[in-house]
Amino acid sequence: MGKQNQLRKPQSQMTSSGERSRAERRTGGLQRPLKGVLHKREVDTRRTVLFLSTGNTCRSPMAAAYLKKLLEERKVKSIEVRSAGVMTVPGLLATEESKQMLEPYAVSLDKHRSQPLTEEMIKRSDLILGMTPFHVQMALRMSPTSRGKTFLLKEYTQTDPKNRPIPDPMGCTLEVYKRCFRQIKQACDRLIETGFVTGKPSRRPRKTLSRAARAGERSRS
């Protein structure tokens, strides 16, 4: 009897091994694709916010760089921040005044280069924030995919009841730049607390968007 048990034991091990092999064939190496699926889900959870200005050398670079700083401080890695200009050419440097505004926050714009707004940028963005109604309207005209996700920066962050635009400081004094950046900073400080960043439900502006779009139409006429 003892010898029979000794003979059966290796046979049991072979059966178990064979069953595992058949199971692996049935699953087709499930573990490797599963890792890929999980990685894809992680990528899919990332969201992109796109700041718009005219030349992409002052307002939108300042907003993007400052928001990146806030995200880094909070260790938020699920948000990608980009910026573009609705009337610009590729490769322009950020203005020196813009760089000065961010120096107290240890943020550098030395590597920034301007990018014109494209339809592909709009499609890839989950939230688009313009400094003026003109920027909002340009995005709305460029691609239908911009609808429902394009707002004035102050409108989305609800930092100004009148949703006044943030004027272009290009060519102006340092004091004008300071006023401009204060408005951008206030809006970004609020943006970091919105549901778009935190993932928690928050009220989104809806009715004011149409007013911003109509104002953009008037500015074009």
Same domain membership, residue 14 and residue 87: no
d(CA 118, CA 50): 11
The residue range of the domain holding 62 is 46-220
Same domain membership, residue 194 and residue 146: yes
Confidence band (pLDDT; 50, 70, 90) for 212? low
**Longest pairwise C-alpha distance within the chain:** 100
Q: 120: burial class by Cβ within 10 Å (0-12, 13-18, 19+)?
A: exposed
- DSSP code per residue over 149-172: TEEEHHHHHT--TT-------TTS
* Strand locations in 144-194 (E): 150-152
Would you state the pLDDT for residue 207? 45
Position 111 pLDDT exceeds 70: yes
- Model pTM? 0.75
Position 17 pLDDT exceeds 90: no
d(CA 151, CA 128): 6
Same domain membership, residue 73 and residue 10: no
Same domain membership, residue 151 and residue 78: yes
Same domain membership, residue 101 and residue 10: no
Would you state the pLDDT for residue 22? 52
The mean pLDDT value of the chain amounts to 82
Over its C-alpha atoms, the chain yields an Rg (Å, rounded) of: 26
Same domain membership, residue 135 and residue 67: yes
d(CA 153, CA 23): 55
Same domain membership, residue 93 and residue 190: yes
Same domain membership, residue 98 and residue 61: yes
d(CA 1, CA 57): 88
Would you state the pLDDT for residue 29? 44
Residues 136-160: what's their mean pLDDT?
97
* Residue 161 belongs to domain with CATH number: 3.40.50.2300
Same domain membership, residue 205 and residue 167: yes
d(CA 19, CA 193): 53
Position 2 pLDDT exceeds 90: no
Position 37 pLDDT exceeds 80: no
pLDDT, tens digit, for every residue of 50-84?
Answer: 999 999 999 999 999 999 999 999 999 999 999 99
Residues 88-94: what's their mean pLDDT?
98
Region of residue 114 (phi > 0: left; psi between -120 and 50: alpha; otherwise: beta): beta
Same domain membership, residue 163 and residue 99: yes
Half-sphere exposure of 52 (CA within 13 A, CB side): 29
